[in-house]
Structures are given as C-alpha cells and as structure tokens.
Chains A and B, each alone.
Chain A
Amino acid sequence: MEIPYTVQPRPDTGIYNAKVGIWLFLASEVMLFGGLFSAYILLRVGAEPGMWPHGWLNVTLGTVNTILLALSAITTLLAWVACKVREFGKFKFFHACTILLALTFLGIKSYEYRDKLIHYEIALTSGKFADGHLVEKSKDFDLAKKTGTVTLHGHIVEDRKELMDLRSPEAQAAKHTDITIAAADIKKMENYAPRHNTFTAIYFTLTGLHALHILGGTLVIFYLWGPGSKMWFTDHERFTNRIEVSGLFWHFVDLVWIFLFPVLYLT
C-alpha cells in the first residue's frame, strides 16, 4: 500500500502531508517553549529588587553560538536547495557542515554548563560570602565533619546582593585571587547548579530543553546525511521533502535560540 501525499500536495491543504505534520508539531513546540518563557517572565518580575542575576552568562560564547546556529540554518537551507537542483555532492557537503556546526554548538554549551557546575558560592560563618571557580579540594575535605580546605579562584563579598550584578562597576573592579577556606569556616557551600536559585533553574531548563532539540535534530540530519540518503537514488522527491521538513524543525530550533540568547544573556 502506498502512503498518499508524501510528494504531491493534498488537494484540500495544498501541501504534502509531512509538511502539515511538521507545522502542527512546531505549533505544539511553540506552546511548550511558550510555557517556559512565561515561567521565566513570572520568576523574573517576581524576584526581589536586586536579587535577579545579571551578567552571569558569557556573552561572547552566547554570541558565537548564535552565529553558529544561524550558519547551520543557512547550510540546512542550502542542503535542501542542493536536493532541488540534484547536486548530491553539495547536499552532502552542506549537511555535513550543519552537523559539525550543531556539534560545535553543543560543545560550547557543555563548556558553559561545566563552568557553572564548578562555580561555587560559599556562605561563611563570618557572614561573608566567597564566590568563585573551584581550584581544588584537599583530600580530607568533608563539609559534614568540618575537615580539610577548599580553594576557589574568586573573591569575598560582604553581602550576597553584590554577587547578583556582575556587570556593576564594583563587580568589574573586584580582584579575583585564589582563596583557601577551611571547612570549619563554611556555613553552606553550593555550586551554580539548577537548585542554586530560580535563575539557574530556569536557565538550565530552557537551555537544556533547547540543547535536547539540537541533539535530536542533529541525529535526524545525520541519518538523512548518512544511511537515509539512499532514498536520493530511489525516491528523490520524497527525500527532498524529508530534507525540507527536517530543515523546518532546524529553523525553529534556531528561532528559539534567537529569543533565548537576548533573554538569558543580555537582559
């Protein structure tokens, strides 16, 4: 039995079925990300004055990722055009570029996650706060038993609020050095994982979900670039439509990032 309208447009919709399907799927994706974006807005406007983090994320890396995704959206489109003009070599080249760009994006995102996970905020028994990246923990370091020391590369502040705006002149002027703290002087020690505060929670949720979409899209594109490309020679029109549909998904992922970047990194 032949599946209808995989190539020819369906008379009532004017487009082939897979395209209707992907647009319906993208509509559901808009609602999924929309829910999370509205959660972000609520958390942000509900935060106490001066307690919403500002400048915590690396704008340079975010910008590089924005350009990488824009480039990958373009190579995806060009791969589809190469299908249209029946140039197999160029199709392979453009989609290989898309895969490499996507993997680079994920690599940079992983680096950013690692940077947050080795970044610690330590509440000291003196009432001050130490903040910085973990350099080392002594072998006998045990927070529960209050033994050993931990070394951070960072600085110490009087008030936790001083850690919120890293773009403030005070934060920019702060000198970061290696600070060694005894476990006995630590009241609470926590890295910048999702549980740290509502910003890190929504940051990891939004970007994590987006990264999963990138990963899923990359797997589909890899399949179409590799084993799935056999269809080029057996049913070229249908294969071209598959490339178009996967491309639409990829552009949507790029669209989400276009809003994630300014919302999380710039505002």
Chain B
Amino acid sequence: MIFMSDSEHPVDLKSYIRRCAVILLAVICTTSLMIATSFSHIGTGWTARVAIILGIASVNAFLVAGYLMHLLSEKKMVYALLAFTVFFFIGLLGLTIWASNDFPPGTAMH
C-alpha cells in the first residue's frame, strides 16, 4: 500500500476512481439542480432564486475543494492561509459594497 506524503491516507487507484465517479455524479446533479432552479418559476422571487443557485454552487465548490483538493485532510498551515484568505476576501467584498453608495455630496442620482 502506498501512502500520501503529507497525510497518512493510503492511496489506491481503483478506490480513487470510485470516489471520483461519485464526485462527478454529484457535480452533475448539483449543476442540473442549479439549471432547474434558474428556469423554474415556482413562487420564488429573483433574489431567493439567486441565493438558492449560489448555495448549490457552494456545495459544488465544497465537493471540489474538500475531496479533489484534499482540503478535508490538510495541514494546519494550509488552513491558516485559507483563514487569512477568507478574511481578506470578505473584507474586499464588504468594503466594496459598503462604499458603493458613498457618493460625494451633490452627486445627481437617476
């Protein structure tokens, strides 16, 4: 049995192929669900639909990051780097959106 270098999980090609097939199936299902939500007109407003679609996209992203990038079994160093990234990413989006209505006095609004 071969072991991964920086975590002690055994590596076996056949089991990986099985795992990958499950992930691919999940990605196809979540993508189909996003498309179905986008085209559905069942009682939900545009904002709710966008929130649902982005929620499903986040599940999709979790599958790729967690299983394909092995983020579920990474070292503390990587988690620390990611924590900083998330902090600054939220700051980037937050500051931009916060400043979006910060017009100079006298700005004409349409």
Contact = CB atoms under 8 A, between A and B. Distances in A.
B2 A84 contact: yes
Contacts of B20: 74, 77-78
A30 B56 CA distance: 20
Contacts, number: 139
Contact of B97 (A20, A42, A67, A255): A42
Interface in A220-267: 237, 240-241, 248, 251-252, 254-255, 258-259, 261-263, 266-267
B8 interface: no
Nearest to B54: A262
Contacts of A16: 5-6
Contacts of A73: 64, 68
Interface stretch (A32-40, A106-114, A149-157, A210-218): A32-40
Interface string B43-80: 00000011001101100110011001100000111100
A237 B3 CA distance: 12
A84 B5 CA distance: 9
A45 B46 CA distance: 13
Given A85-B13, A262-B54, A15 B93 contact: no
B13 A38 contact: no
A24 interface: yes
A44 to B, nearest CB: 10
